[in-house]
Protein backbone atom coordinates (compact mmCIF):
# COMPACT_ATOMS: atom_id res chain seq x y z
CA UNK A 1 0.00 0.00 0.00
CA UNK A 2 1.44 3.43 -0.92
CA UNK A 3 2.03 5.83 1.97
CA UNK A 4 2.84 9.49 2.45
CA UNK A 5 3.69 11.89 5.29
CA UNK A 6 1.89 15.25 5.52
CA UNK A 7 3.96 17.95 7.21
CA UNK A 8 3.13 21.53 8.13
CA UNK A 9 5.07 24.47 9.59
CA UNK A 10 3.81 25.12 13.11
CA UNK A 11 4.50 27.20 16.21
CA UNK A 12 5.15 30.43 14.30
CA UNK A 13 3.15 32.68 16.62
CA UNK A 14 5.03 34.77 19.18
CA UNK A 15 4.14 37.32 21.82
CA UNK A 16 0.88 38.99 20.81
CA UNK A 17 1.16 37.84 17.19
CA UNK A 18 -0.78 34.82 15.93
CA UNK A 19 0.34 32.98 12.80
CA UNK A 20 -1.30 29.98 11.17
CA UNK A 21 -4.09 27.67 12.36
CA UNK A 22 -2.16 25.15 14.42
CA UNK A 23 -5.07 23.86 16.50
CA UNK A 24 -7.32 23.30 13.49
CA UNK A 25 -4.65 21.75 11.25
CA UNK A 26 -2.80 19.48 13.68
CA UNK A 27 -5.40 16.63 13.50
CA UNK A 28 -4.86 16.39 9.73
CA UNK A 29 -1.05 16.12 9.57
CA UNK A 30 1.48 13.47 10.53
CA UNK A 31 4.58 15.65 11.08
CA UNK A 32 4.98 19.18 12.46
CA UNK A 33 7.90 21.50 11.72
CA UNK A 34 8.04 23.65 14.85
CA UNK A 35 9.70 27.09 14.72
CA UNK A 36 12.79 27.39 16.89
CA UNK A 37 12.38 30.99 18.04
CA UNK A 38 14.69 32.73 15.57
CA UNK A 39 12.43 33.52 12.59
CA UNK A 40 9.24 32.97 14.61
CA UNK A 41 7.94 31.31 17.75
CA UNK A 42 8.87 31.81 21.39
CA UNK A 43 9.41 29.45 24.37
CA UNK A 44 5.73 29.46 25.37
CA UNK A 45 4.49 28.81 21.83
CA UNK A 46 7.07 26.06 21.39
CA UNK A 47 5.87 24.35 24.57
CA UNK A 48 2.23 24.64 23.51
CA UNK A 49 2.97 23.32 20.02
CA UNK A 50 4.92 20.32 21.31
CA UNK A 51 2.02 19.58 23.67
CA UNK A 52 -0.46 19.85 20.79
CA UNK A 53 1.60 17.56 18.56
CA UNK A 54 1.97 15.00 21.35
CA UNK A 55 -1.80 15.08 21.94
CA UNK A 56 -2.44 14.22 18.28
CA UNK A 57 0.46 11.74 17.94
CA UNK A 58 2.12 13.96 15.33
CA UNK A 59 5.85 13.60 14.69
CA UNK A 60 7.91 16.55 15.90
CA UNK A 61 10.65 18.34 13.99
CA UNK A 62 12.59 21.56 14.41
CA UNK A 63 12.10 24.29 11.81
CA UNK A 64 15.24 26.38 12.35
CA UNK A 65 15.54 29.79 10.73
CA UNK A 66 17.87 32.76 10.62
CA UNK A 67 17.69 35.25 13.52
CA UNK A 68 15.35 37.67 11.77
CA UNK A 69 11.83 37.86 13.22
CA UNK A 70 11.09 41.18 11.55
CA UNK A 71 11.71 39.58 8.16
CA UNK A 72 10.20 36.22 9.19
CA UNK A 73 13.52 34.55 8.34
CA UNK A 74 13.06 35.24 4.64
CA UNK A 75 15.76 37.89 4.18
CA UNK A 76 19.26 37.01 3.04
CA UNK A 77 21.99 37.27 5.68
CA UNK A 78 25.77 37.03 5.35
CA UNK A 79 26.33 33.95 7.51
CA UNK A 80 29.28 31.57 7.31
CA UNK A 81 28.90 27.77 7.60
CA UNK A 82 29.99 27.66 11.25
CA UNK A 83 27.46 30.34 12.18
CA UNK A 84 24.53 28.63 10.45
CA UNK A 85 25.60 25.38 12.11
CA UNK A 86 25.43 27.09 15.52
CA UNK A 87 21.98 28.51 14.74
CA UNK A 88 20.65 25.04 13.96
CA UNK A 89 22.20 23.41 17.06
CA UNK A 90 20.83 26.19 19.30
CA UNK A 91 17.27 25.82 18.00
CA UNK A 92 17.45 22.03 17.92
CA UNK A 93 18.50 22.03 21.56
CA UNK A 94 15.44 24.06 22.53
CA UNK A 95 12.94 21.63 21.02
CA UNK A 96 14.81 18.61 22.33
CA UNK A 97 14.32 20.07 25.81
CA UNK A 98 10.57 20.54 25.43
CA UNK A 99 10.20 17.14 23.80
CA UNK A 100 12.01 15.45 26.69
CA UNK A 101 9.79 17.24 29.18
CA UNK A 102 6.68 15.88 27.47
CA UNK A 103 8.02 12.38 26.94
CA UNK A 104 8.17 12.53 23.15
CA UNK A 105 11.03 12.35 20.67
CA UNK A 106 12.18 14.72 17.94
CA UNK A 107 12.21 13.02 14.54
CA UNK A 108 13.44 15.56 11.98
CA UNK A 109 15.05 18.85 10.98
CA UNK A 110 13.69 21.12 8.23
CA UNK A 111 15.41 24.51 7.69
CA UNK A 112 13.20 27.52 6.99
CA UNK A 113 13.08 30.32 4.45
CA UNK A 114 16.35 32.09 3.68
CA UNK A 115 18.31 29.47 5.63
CA UNK A 116 16.92 26.77 3.32
CA UNK A 117 17.85 28.88 0.27
CA UNK A 118 21.37 29.34 1.64
CA UNK A 119 21.82 25.58 2.04
CA UNK A 120 20.46 24.94 -1.45
CA UNK A 121 22.95 27.37 -2.99
CA UNK A 122 26.01 26.43 -0.89
CA UNK A 123 27.09 22.82 -0.43
CA UNK A 124 29.51 23.97 2.28
CA UNK A 125 26.68 25.46 4.34
CA UNK A 126 24.50 22.40 3.73
CA UNK A 127 27.23 20.02 4.89
CA UNK A 128 27.81 22.10 8.03
CA UNK A 129 24.16 21.77 9.03
CA UNK A 130 24.02 18.07 8.23
CA UNK A 131 27.16 17.45 10.27
CA UNK A 132 25.57 19.27 13.19
CA UNK A 133 22.41 17.18 12.93
CA UNK A 134 24.45 13.97 13.00
CA UNK A 135 26.55 15.13 15.93
CA UNK A 136 23.59 16.17 18.08
CA UNK A 137 21.41 13.12 17.33
CA UNK A 138 22.26 10.68 14.51
CA UNK A 139 18.71 9.27 14.60
CA UNK A 140 17.26 12.55 13.29
CA UNK A 141 15.95 12.72 9.73
CA UNK A 142 16.87 15.62 7.46
CA UNK A 143 13.87 16.79 5.44
CA UNK A 144 15.34 17.89 2.11
CA UNK A 145 13.32 20.59 0.35
CA UNK A 146 15.04 20.41 -3.04
CA UNK A 147 17.30 18.13 -5.07
CA UNK A 148 20.47 20.17 -4.44
CA UNK A 149 20.16 19.61 -0.69
CA UNK A 150 19.00 16.01 -1.14
CA UNK A 151 22.05 15.20 -3.29
CA UNK A 152 24.42 16.63 -0.65
CA UNK A 153 22.67 14.51 1.99
CA UNK A 154 23.47 11.37 -0.03
CA UNK A 155 27.18 11.98 0.66
CA UNK A 156 26.62 11.07 4.33
CA UNK A 157 26.61 7.35 5.04
CA UNK A 158 24.55 7.53 8.23
CA UNK A 159 22.28 10.52 7.62
CA UNK A 160 18.59 9.77 7.21
CA UNK A 161 17.34 12.08 4.47
CA UNK A 162 13.85 12.22 2.98
CA UNK A 163 12.87 14.31 -0.01
CA UNK A 164 9.93 16.67 0.40
CA UNK A 165 7.34 17.64 -2.20
CA UNK A 166 4.97 20.59 -2.47
CA UNK A 167 1.41 20.54 -3.75
CA UNK A 168 0.17 24.03 -2.88
CA UNK A 169 2.99 25.62 -4.88
CA UNK A 170 3.84 25.18 -8.57
CA UNK A 171 7.08 23.72 -9.96
CA UNK A 172 9.17 25.02 -12.83
CA UNK A 173 10.46 22.48 -15.35
CA UNK A 174 13.84 22.42 -13.53
CA UNK A 175 12.09 21.33 -10.30
CA UNK A 176 12.53 24.72 -8.63
CA UNK A 177 9.51 26.06 -6.77
CA UNK A 178 7.54 29.14 -7.74
CA UNK A 179 7.17 30.98 -4.43
CA UNK A 180 4.30 33.44 -4.24
CA UNK A 181 4.70 36.91 -2.79
CA UNK A 182 1.04 36.83 -1.76
CA UNK A 183 -0.60 33.53 -0.83
CA UNK A 184 -3.81 32.81 -2.74
CA UNK A 185 -6.46 30.11 -2.13
CA UNK A 186 -5.67 26.84 -3.94
CA UNK A 187 -7.96 24.47 -5.81
CA UNK A 188 -8.50 21.60 -3.31
CA UNK A 189 -9.09 19.00 -6.03
CA UNK A 190 -5.94 19.98 -7.92
CA UNK A 191 -3.88 19.85 -4.73
CA UNK A 192 -5.34 16.43 -3.82
CA UNK A 193 -4.57 15.14 -7.34
CA UNK A 194 -0.95 16.20 -6.87
CA UNK A 195 -0.72 14.36 -3.55
CA UNK A 196 -1.97 11.16 -5.22
CA UNK A 197 0.47 11.56 -8.13
CA UNK A 198 3.41 11.92 -5.72
CA UNK A 199 2.34 9.11 -3.38
CA UNK A 200 1.53 6.59 -6.14
CA UNK A 201 3.79 7.54 -9.02
CA UNK A 202 6.58 9.79 -7.60
CA UNK A 203 5.75 12.48 -10.11
CA UNK A 204 4.15 15.90 -10.48
CA UNK A 205 3.29 18.17 -13.40
CA UNK A 206 5.26 21.41 -13.85
CA UNK A 207 3.67 24.67 -14.99
CA UNK A 208 4.76 24.03 -18.60
CA UNK A 209 3.13 20.58 -18.65
CA UNK A 210 6.37 18.66 -18.12
CA UNK A 211 6.07 15.57 -15.93
CA UNK A 212 8.72 15.71 -13.22
CA UNK A 213 10.15 12.82 -11.21
CA UNK A 214 9.62 13.69 -7.55
CA UNK A 215 10.78 10.97 -5.15
CA UNK A 216 9.03 12.54 -2.15
CA UNK A 217 7.84 10.63 0.90
CA UNK A 218 6.69 13.78 2.69
CA UNK A 219 4.44 16.56 1.42
CA UNK A 220 4.30 20.06 2.87
CA UNK A 221 1.06 21.98 3.23
CA UNK A 222 1.52 25.65 4.13
CA UNK A 223 -0.49 26.23 7.28
CA UNK A 224 -0.75 29.97 6.68
CA UNK A 225 -2.47 29.49 3.31
CA UNK A 226 -5.97 31.04 3.06
CA UNK A 227 -7.72 27.66 2.68
CA UNK A 228 -5.20 25.28 4.26
CA UNK A 229 -7.84 23.45 6.30
CA UNK A 230 -10.00 22.87 3.21
CA UNK A 231 -6.96 21.52 1.37
CA UNK A 232 -6.13 19.06 4.13
CA UNK A 233 -9.74 17.88 4.43
CA UNK A 234 -9.90 17.22 0.68
CA UNK A 235 -6.50 15.48 0.73
CA UNK A 236 -7.70 13.13 3.47
CA UNK A 237 -10.82 12.26 1.48
CA UNK A 238 -8.75 11.45 -1.60
CA UNK A 239 -6.19 9.41 0.33
CA UNK A 240 -9.01 7.26 1.71
CA UNK A 241 -10.50 6.83 -1.77
CA UNK A 242 -7.14 5.89 -3.29
CA UNK A 243 -6.07 3.53 -0.50
CA UNK A 244 -3.03 5.64 0.41
CA UNK A 245 -1.84 5.37 4.00
CA UNK A 246 -0.66 8.28 6.15
CA UNK A 247 2.62 7.69 8.01
CA UNK A 248 4.81 9.86 10.18
CA UNK A 249 8.15 10.83 8.73
CA UNK A 250 10.05 8.59 11.13
CA UNK A 251 8.28 5.50 9.76
CA UNK A 252 9.97 5.92 6.36
CA UNK A 253 13.55 5.52 7.64
Of 15, 183, 20, 39, the residue nearest 113 (C-alpha): 39
At 253 the pLDDT is 84
Average pLDDT per consecutive 10 residues, the chain (253 residues; last block may be shorter): 96 94 97 98 98 98 97 96 98 98 97 96 98 96 94 94 96 89 91 98 96 96 94 98 96 89
Using CA atoms, how far apart are residues 205 and 211, in angstroms rounded to an integer? 5
At 73 the pLDDT is 96
At 18 the pLDDT is 93
Using CA atoms, how far apart are residues 217 and 196, in angstroms rounded to an integer? 12
Give, for 94, the enclosing helix (H) or strand (E).
helix 81-101
Using CA atoms, how far apart are residues 20 and 31, in angstroms rounded to an integer? 15
pTM of structure: 0.96
At 183 the pLDDT is 85
Using CA atoms, how far apart are residues 45 and 41, in angstroms rounded to an integer? 6
Cβ atoms 40, 11 nearer than 8 A: yes
Domains of the chain: 3-252 (3.20.20.370)
CA dihedral 153, 156, 159, 161 (to 10 degrees): 20
Question: How does strand 106-109 pair with strand 141-144?
Answer: parallel
Of 79, 50, 51, the residue nearest 63 (C-alpha): 50
Amino acid sequence: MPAIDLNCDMGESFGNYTMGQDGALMPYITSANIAGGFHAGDPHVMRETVELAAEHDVGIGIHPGLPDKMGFGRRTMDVNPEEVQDYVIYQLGSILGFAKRHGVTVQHVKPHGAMYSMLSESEEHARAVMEAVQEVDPSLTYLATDMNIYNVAQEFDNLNAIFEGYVDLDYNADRTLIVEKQKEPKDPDLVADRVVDIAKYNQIEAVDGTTLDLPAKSICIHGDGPNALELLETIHERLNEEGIELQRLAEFV
